[in-house]
Chains A and B, each alone.
Chain A
Amino acid sequence: MKSTRRAVLMGLAAVAAPFVAARSWAQGPAPFRFALTPVFLDNDAAVISALRAALAEGMGQDIELVQRRTYQEISGALLDGSVDAAWTCGYPYLQHKAELSLLGVPVWRGQPLYQSYLIVAEDDPATALPDLRGGTHAFSDPDSNSGFLVTASDLARGGKTPDQFFSRVIFTYGHRNVVRSVAGGLTRSGSVDGYVWEALSSAEPDLTARTKVIVRSEWLGFPPMVARADRMDEPSVMACKAALLGLSATAQGREALKLLSLDAIEPAEDALFDGIAARMAVLSGG
Chain B
Amino acid sequence: MRPLPRFRNLPVTLRVPLVMAGLMILLGFLASQSVLSALGRVQDARLSETARLHVEGLSVALGPSVLRQDVWEVYDILDRARSAYDGQRLLLSIVADERGRILAATDPRRAPVGEEVAGFEAGAVPPDAVRMTGDPVLRVAAPLLFQGRQIGQIVTELDVTDLLAERRNVSIWLLFGNAAATALLAFGGWLAVARILRPVGALVSAMDDSKGAPRPIAETDIPRGDPGLSRLISTYNRMTTAVESRAEAERRLAERERFVSLGRLSSSLAHEVNNPLGGLLNAADTILSYSDRPEVVRQSAELMQRGLSHLRDVTRAILDENRLDRAGQELRPEDYEDLKLLFEPEVASRAQRLHWNVEAGLAGMIGLPAAPVRQIVLNLLLNAGAAAGQHGQVGLNVTAGEGQLLIEITDTGPGLGQADLGRLLASGPLPPGGGVGLRLVHDLVSKLEGEVHHDRVGDKTYIRVTLPLKDASHA
For the A-B complex with A11-B81, A14-B73 known, give 20 more contacts whose Cβ atoms are closer than 8 Å: A3-B84, A3-B85, A5-B53, A6-B84, A6-B85, A7-B58, A7-B84, A8-B60, A10-B84, A11-B62, A12-B61, A14-B77, A15-B60, A167-B114, A168-B71, A168-B113, A168-B114, A181-B75, A184-B108, A186-B71
Q: Chain B contacts of A5 at CB under 8 A?
A: 53, 57
**Number of A-B residue pairs having CB atoms within 8 Å of each other in the complex:** 90
Q: A8-B53, A11-B77, A12-B61 are in contact. Are A185 and B84 (CB under 8 A)?
A: no
A185 to B109, CA, bound (A): 6
Q: B451 an interface residue at 8 Å Cβ cutoff?
A: no
Please choose the segment from A23-31, A85-93, A100-108, A171-179 that sits at the chain B interface, where 4 or more of its residues have CB less than 8 A away.
A171-179
Q: A7-B84, A180-B79, A185-B108 are in contact. Are A172 and B72 (CB under 8 A)?
A: yes
Q: Chain B contacts of A6 at CB under 8 A?
A: 84-85
Q: Chain A contacts of B56 at CB under 8 A?
A: 8
Closest-CB distance, B142 to chain A (whole angstroms): 14
Q: Chain B contacts of A12 at CB under 8 A?
A: 60-61
Q: A4 an interface residue at 8 Å Cβ cutoff?
A: yes
Residue of B nearest to A178 (CB): B72
Establish whether residues A184 and B75, one from each chain, have CB atoms under 8 Å apart when the complex forms: yes
- Chain A to chain B contacts (Cβ below 8 Å), 14 pairs: A1-B50, A4-B50, A4-B57, A5-B53, A12-B60, A12-B61, A14-B73, A14-B77, A167-B114, A168-B71, A177-B72, A180-B76, A181-B75, A184-B79
Q: Chain B contacts of A185 at CB under 8 A?
A: 107-109
Contact of A172 among B49, B50, B54, B76 (CB under 8 A): B76
Q: A136 an interface residue at 8 Å Cβ cutoff?
A: yes
Q: B87 an interface residue at 8 Å Cβ cutoff?
A: yes
Q: B223 an interface residue at 8 Å Cβ cutoff?
A: no
A173 to B109, CA, bound (A): 22
Interface residues of B, dominant DSSP: helix
Q: B46 an interface residue at 8 Å Cβ cutoff?
A: yes
Q: A7-B54, A168-B114, A186-B75 are in contact. Are A1 and B85 (CB under 8 A)?
A: no
A147 to B61, CA, bound (A): 26
Establish whether residues A1 and B46, one from each chain, have CB atoms under 8 Å apart when the complex forms: yes
A39 to B248, CA, bound (A): 121
Q: B94 an interface residue at 8 Å Cβ cutoff?
A: no
Q: Chain A contacts of B84 at CB under 8 A?
A: 3, 6-7, 10
Number of interface residues of A (CB under 8 A): 27
Q: A11-B61, A14-B77, A184-B79 are in contact. Are A171 and B72 (CB under 8 A)?
A: yes
Residue of B nearest to A5 (CB): B53
Q: Chain A contacts of B104 at CB under 8 A?
A: 186
Establish whether residues B108 and A7, one from each chain, have CB atoms under 8 Å apart when the complex forms: no
Q: A268 an interface residue at 8 Å Cβ cutoff?
A: no
A10 to B84, CA, bound (A): 8
Establish whether residues A1 and B49, one from each chain, have CB atoms under 8 Å apart when the complex forms: yes
Number of interface residues of B (CB under 8 A): 34
Residue of B nearest to A171 (CB): B72
A171 to B61, CA, bound (A): 19
Q: A138 an interface residue at 8 Å Cβ cutoff?
A: yes
Q: Chain A contacts of B50 at CB under 8 A?
A: 1, 4
Q: A170 an interface residue at 8 Å Cβ cutoff?
A: yes
Q: Chain A contacts of B54 at CB under 8 A?
A: 4, 7
Chain B 325-340 residues near chain A, CB threshold 8 A: none
Report A154-171 CB contacts with B as 1/0, cut-off 8 Å: 000000000000011011
Establish whether residues A10 and B80, one from each chain, have CB atoms under 8 Å apart when the complex forms: yes
Q: Chain A contacts of B49 at CB under 8 A?
A: 1
Establish whether residues B60 and A11, one from each chain, have CB atoms under 8 Å apart when the complex forms: yes
A184 to B108, CA, bound (A): 7
Residue of A nearest to B73 (CB): A14
A186 to B58, CA, bound (A): 18
A8 to B57, CA, bound (A): 5
Establish whether residues A186 and B81, one from each chain, have CB atoms under 8 Å apart when the complex forms: no
Contact of B57 among A11, A172, A181, A187 (CB under 8 A): A11
Q: Chain B contacts of A180 at CB under 8 A?
A: 76, 79
Closest-CB distance, A90 to chain B (whole angstroms): 23
Establish whether residues B113 and A186, one from each chain, have CB atoms under 8 Å apart when the complex forms: yes
